[in-house]
Amino acid sequence: MRAFFPIFKRELFSFFVTPLAWVLITVFLLVQGMHFFLIVDHFANLRAEVSDQTPLQAFFGNTVLLYLVLFLLVPAMTMRTFAEERRSGTIESLMTAPVSSSAVVLAKYAATLVTYLAMWLPTLLYLVILRRTGEIDWGVAASAYLGVALVGAGYLSIGQLMSAVTSSQFLALVMTALMILALFILGLGEFVAQQGSLLHDVCSYVSVWAHMNDFASGVIDSRRLVYYACVVTVPLFVSVRVVDAWRWG
């Protein structure tokens, strides 16, 4: 695993020198800024009315804009991790170097995950703004950001696997988007499936909407942690096997 950090630094640097990275960061911050403004404006207009939510809960758990951003952001971030190297032929030199397949996969994944988390850092300013207008439950805030990190980590792992199985960036982007959309739609089944049925239990278990509602309320359910541990590790394991397949022909 000594090759992990050189590959990690190379991937991190290569992402930020591309125009795509800055376009994604700009669009992400603009959408999140608009998202935050709309929520604050909504709560400001409530005036004397009582709401059963806080702005923090609404921002992380109850608007589709959060999921729309993830749906657009993650496929674009992961589409080039392996597909571009396969298309350009640089993967051959990487595969013949004295590095393990797991080091390559984990280094690329760590670079995209760090980038994803860095994109969320400026949104901490929203907490500062909210703190100036009222009290904030910092435990709930930490739980909400943990949820965002876990959801992103799972989606990035899926996206990297899609990039590993194709040499086309566009195809990797489309497959990742379809996988994320499929999980999101399956999760919405909890609202239409019969209560107590197996389908309802499955849909509720994979529902990112339910997950983020819990995290945004300060509820850290061990079932959610196990689910995202699986969503992260299984695609990464398959990605390592795919890279091994390239190496051994």
Given a cut of 60, is residue 50 above it in pLDDT? no
Whole-Å CA distances, 58 to 29, 43, 182, 211, 216: 18, 10, 24, 14, 8
Q: What is the pTM of this model?
A: 0.90
Instruction: Report the alpha-carbon distance of residue 249 to residue 246 in Å, rounded.
Output: 5
Given a cut of 70, is residue 92 above it in pLDDT? no
| DSSP alpha helix (H) spans, the chain | 4-16, 19-46, 55-61, 64-78, 83-88, 90-96, 101-120, 124-133, 138-164, 169-188, 198-206, 208-216, 222-247
Q: What is the pLDDT of residues 157-183, one digit of tens each?
A: 999 999 988 888 899 999 999 999 999
Half-sphere exposure of 178 (CA within 13 A, CB side): 7
